[in-house]
């Protein structure tokens, strides 16, 4: 699912009971649903074991492991890609704050499932999100073909 949300920015995050709710700003996809939509709400169910292996902005410095929920999400990480390693999700992120000590990193966590809803509270399956994304990139490719 995070690969489908490529280039989305996690604008806010909070914990509700055992779940993590993310607001992922991704207007290039959400505008395909309804003009003016800007984000999806992603609920990560039974969210645990969060860490962020940050890439230092300064060359030659060691990676930094962050575990502070608010600190990790306060930088509004941009989703680049994701994969699964065992029972852990690894989401590679970019950080656009030039004054930060790090420029991105790998967000690592566990969860049992995810629920994605749009701004009208419609729930989207992974297959529907994939089709939405595929439609965008097919259209983009057609617009940018070299003649």
Letter string b/e over residues 110-144, b meaning 16 or more CB atoms within 10 A of that residue's CB: ebeebebebeeeeebeeeebeebbeeeeeeeeeee
Write down the residue that tokens 């097919």 correspond to.
Answer: 138
Provide, rounded to the nearest whole percent, the portion of the chain with pLDDT above 70: 99
pLDDT tens sequence across 99-144: 788 899 999 999 999 999 999 999 999 999 999 999 988 888 988 8
- Higher-pLDDT residue of 67, 146: 67
In a domain, 4, yes or no: no
In a domain, 35, yes or no: yes
Mean pLDDT of 42-71: 93
Q: Does residue 147 have a pLDDT over 60? A: no
Q: Does residue 41 have a pLDDT over 60? A: yes
In a domain, 74, yes or no: yes
pLDDT tens sequence across 12-21: 999 999 999 9
In a domain, 2, yes or no: no
In a domain, 23, yes or no: yes
Q: Other C-beta atoms within 10 Å of 102: how many?
A: 19
In a domain, 29, yes or no: yes
In a domain, 139, yes or no: yes
In a domain, 3, yes or no: no
Q: How many domains does the chain have?
A: 1
- Mean pLDDT of the chain, nearest integer: 93
> Residue 135 is part of which domain span?
9-143
């Amino acid at each position: 699912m995070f690969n489908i949300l490529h280039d989305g920015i996690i604008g806010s995050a909070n914990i509700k009971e055992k779940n993590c709710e993310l607001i992922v700003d991704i207007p290039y996809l959400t505008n395909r649903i309804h003009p003016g939509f800007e984000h999806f709400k992603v609920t990560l169910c039974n969210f645990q074991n969060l860490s962020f292996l940050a890439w230092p902005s300064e060359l030659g410095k060691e990676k930094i492991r962050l575990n502070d929920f608010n600190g990790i999400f306060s930088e509004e990480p941009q989703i680049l890609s994701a994969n699964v390693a065992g029972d852990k999700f690894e989401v590679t992120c970019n950080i656009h704050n030039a004054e930060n000590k790090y420029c991105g990193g790998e967000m690592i966590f566990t969860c049992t499932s995810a629920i994605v809803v749009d701004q009208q509270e419609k729930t989207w399956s992974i297959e529907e999100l994939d089709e939405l994304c595929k439609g965008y990139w097919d259209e983009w490719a057609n617009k940018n073909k070299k003649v």
